[in-house]
Structure 1
Amino acid sequence: MEQMTPSRLATPADAEEIAALVNRAYRPAACERTWTHEADLIAGERIAVEQVRTLFRPQSRVLLQCRASAILACVHLEIVGAVAHIGMLATRPDVQAQGLGKHMLAQAERHAHQYFRVESFEISVLTARTELLSFYERRGYVRTGRRLPYPADSGTGQPLREDIELELLSKTAHRNLYAKVVDGRHPA
């Protein structure tokens, strides 16, 4: 991965670019589809600009990775008690497969632990996305078996299949793992 400016917190002024990035990553045009897309499972936009704007409130953060002024990746954190709910992890399709998703996930975990002292992390993943479930398992997340219906009425698109649902994955926050970032890289 080439040299980039460090991660930063998003502001409401970034909402339009974040929505465009997330929609491009999750529901890209056929020519941009990578292993992370879900366009064959869910139709429509993943998120609207107005929905992104609602994320700027206490106990909620959107972290960004930028090159110059362009946003390359984002991740959302929602803190509920001692749990950080991680979502909207997205990397621009043209820079995927360079470790940026792993980097952003680690940054989100470190940020949640450092600033909110969370005890665990949770993420929900489409059960049909077995390769994505494996991605999170390789990063220490455990499948809980807890399944949730797809929130079709939340403005995140419409399922193209009737069996679309989410599974909750969790991970315990280990104090020593999130203690330090060396040379801009997470130690794990």
Structure 2
Amino acid sequence: MEPAPTPPPLRLGLAEEADVPAVVALVESAYRGDGSRRGWTTEADYLDGQRVDEAMVRAMLRQRGSLVLVARQGERLVGCCHLEDLGGGVAELGMLAVDPLAQGQGVGRALLAEGARVAAERLGARRLRLLVLWMRDELIAWYERRGFRPTGERRPFPYGDLRYGLPRRPDLWFSVLERPLP
């Protein structure tokens, strides 16, 4: 039996307008629907509907203090995340998504490290914050292994805002995690 071919090297960079449809497709594949169940980041048990749309991603690209990072293997987009300057030395990392077929290959770790670097260098952040659905114990543990700590703060889920999905349960809220940046 032949070994699986080695994937092309990972290239990290900033998303551009032409990347918007691929970013949306990637995020949807990682979080929503039955296809997302191939990976471990799925939210399909908690939310239906969309996770993000093209208008939202375009707004992220145009907003001052907002960046979308992408990871490519060859020409294929395999990961992304969003960074937003919240002011006061805090940047928020969100929409971290890895193609379910590329999960477990270090793409998420690479994006998280690059996001931390970019947040510090380009946004002047001293702390990196993220929000995770409270019941995602495995995902919270993954972030904790990368230096994030729960702040004890809870944020409400945007019920009624269909841009973020259709909740399948009434008890959704976000845990806030943070880590210092060098």
TM score, norm. by length of structure 2: 0.90
Structure 1 CA distance for aligned equivalents of residues 175 and 36 of structure 2: 29
> Letter of the aligned partner of 1:97 in structure 2?
G
Aligned-partner Cα distance in 1 for 2:32–2:166? 12
- 1:68 deviates by 2.2
1:67-111: per-residue Cα shift (whole Å, max 9, x none)?
222211001000122111000000001111111111111110011
Match of 2:170 in 1: 162
What is the distance in 2 between the residues matched to 1:125 and 1:31? 17
Partner SS state of residue 164, structure 2: coil
Matches within 5 A, 1:20-59: 20-30=25-35, 32-56=37-61, 57-59=63-65
With over 3 angstroms needed to count, the CA separation of the structure-2 counterparts of 1:154 and 1:123, relative to structure 1, is farther
How far the C-alpha of 1:33 sits from its partner, in A, is 2.8
| CA root-mean-square deviation | 1.5
8 A Cα contact 2:30 2:100, kept in partner: yes
**SS state of the match for residue 41, structure 2?**
coil
**Residue correspondence of structure 1 range 1-188 to structure 2 within 5 A:** 2-30=7-35, 32-56=37-61, 57-81=63-87, 82-152=89-159, 153=161, 155-174=163-182
Identity of aligned residues (%): 37
Counterpart of 1:155 in 2: which secondary structure? Answer: helix
Unaligned 5+ runs, structure 2: 1-5
Q: SS at the partner of 2:60?
A: coil
- TM (norm. structure 1) is 0.87
CA contact (8 A) 2:127 2:179 kept: yes
Alpha-carbon separation, structure 1, partners of 2:36 and 2:70:
25
SS in 2 for 1:23: helix
Alpha-carbon distance change, 120 to 154 in structure 1, aligned in 2, over 3 angstroms: farther
Deviates further, 30-39 or 118-127: 30-39
Q: How far apart, in 2, do the equivalents of 1:16 and 1:65 lie?
A: 15
Offset of 1:32 from its aligned partner? Answer: 4.3
- What is the CA deviation profile of residues 12-33 of structure 1, one whole-angstrom value per residue up to 9, with x for unaligned ones? 1111110000000011425743
Aligned length: 174
How far is the alpha carbon of 1:61 from its aligned partner?
0.4
